[in-house]
Amino acid sequence: MGEWDSRANGIVDGHVHMRATADEASMLAILEAAGIEKMALVAIQDPQAGAGLPQALYMKARYPKTFYVFAGLNHAGRLAGKRLAVPGLVEQVESFARMGCDGIKMIEGKPTSRQRLDVPVTDPYYAEYWARVEELGTPIVWHVNDPEEFWDPARLPGWARERNWGYGPDDVQKEQLYAEVDQVLARHPGLKIIFAHFYFLSADLPRASRFLDDHPTVRFDLAPGVEMLYNLSRNPDASRGFFVEYADRIVFGTDLSSGQTVQEGRVRAGLVYRWLESDDVFRVPREADFLLGPPEDGVIRGMSLSDEVLSRIYGGNFSGLVGPEPRALDVDLAVDECQRLAAIAAALSNRPASETEAALVASRLAGK
């Protein structure tokens, strides 16, 4: 129930989360059931747990033609101070590139991330990082901001409240986060950024247009935030016009997680397919995962985009930016990286390094 299949081939999902190495089989089952050909695993790091990046590297090592990896940054050095020897951001980026990662994932710019590390992306801490990323031409998938209703307790959806995604006056504000990105892009106009979740501008298409016009090297991805589908369904003609005009700047994504059931994965991907491909008026199926909210939340109107527009959104744009095939992983370097991440986690948590996801992946890949 609730599934909807795409009519397209060669779909690349630019925004997927690999929760744990143990999810290997379920990730493959979701990919297959949802009719996805390749996935970009966006790998936010959890330095304490020694997790996030290792399980994505594992999938890339095992299925090199299928999985791209966008590696998250490790801020343990900044958070823990001098007692930890963690490579700086520039060194991290260079090492990701050497080992065969395809890009960088950033979550610095989601207010919850700012609560943990209260360092604006305009801070000197990031200065050399931005310069190096621009120079290397490394693509970034970057989550900046959140839906505006997350700052309004009266409008905060229940699924967001349960994740503590409600913000108040003491939190960083939405316009502040946008202003910081503007500054970064003014200094580094060559940055190749895919802003996740339509950059949370789905309620304001004129502003979204201006932003894309002002910054020719950036793109938006379509990973829900289900509010994006509701916002863009209010005026489907205007939305279709936007998608046709900016067909080269929009990247398909689902925000799937390997921890979901196959049905949830299919429903999540199908929701986006149906919105892009059909002219149906529909709701989120009851079988959808928790973060998509209940059917009662709103009505979605399909945009019935042409095959030509769809093929760019479903893969062409991603391939053009990141490459038609995932880069080859240097397994030895990936093992080194995982061992280093395991050691950092052990130092931060006082738990044995051997218990981390990083150590598990290092031993599996080294044993191959």
Stretch that binds Zn ion, among 79-87, 253-261, 291-299, 323-331 (CB under 5 A): 253-261
Q: Is 109 left (phi over 0), alpha (psi -120 to 50) or beta?
A: left
User: Interface mask (CB under 5 A) for Zn ion, residues 173-212, using x and -?
Assistant: ----------------------------------------
Is residue 34 a contact partner of residue 319, using CB atoms and an 8 Å limit? Answer: no
Shortest separation between residue 18's beta carbon and Zn ion, angstroms? 11
Nearer to Zn ion, 268 or 274 (CB): 268
| Rounded distance between C-alpha atoms, residue 102 and residue 16, angstroms | 14
| Rounded distance between C-alpha atoms, residue 287 and residue 13, angstroms | 21
Closest CB to Zn ion belongs to which residue?
255
Asked whether position 277 contacts Zn ion by CB under 5 A, the answer is no
Nearer to Zn ion, 255 or 264 (CB): 255
| Rounded distance between C-alpha atoms, residue 185 and residue 173, angstroms | 19
Nearer to Zn ion, 60 or 105 (CB): 105
Shortest separation between residue 124's beta carbon and Zn ion, angstroms? 28
Please count the helices (runs of H) and the strands (runs of E) in the chain: 16, 11
Shortest separation between residue 70's beta carbon and Zn ion, angstroms? 10
Can you read off the two tokens belonging to residue 97? 């590139």
Shortest separation between residue 105's beta carbon and Zn ion, angstroms? 8
User: Whats the size of the chain, residue-wise?
Assistant: 368
> Which of 255, 264, 289, 357 contacts Zn ion by CB under 5 A?
255
The SS3 call for residue 195 is: strand
Nearer to Zn ion, 72 or 302 (CB): 72
Can you read off the two tokens belonging to residue 82? 């001098």
Binding residues for Zn ion, per CB under 5 A? 255
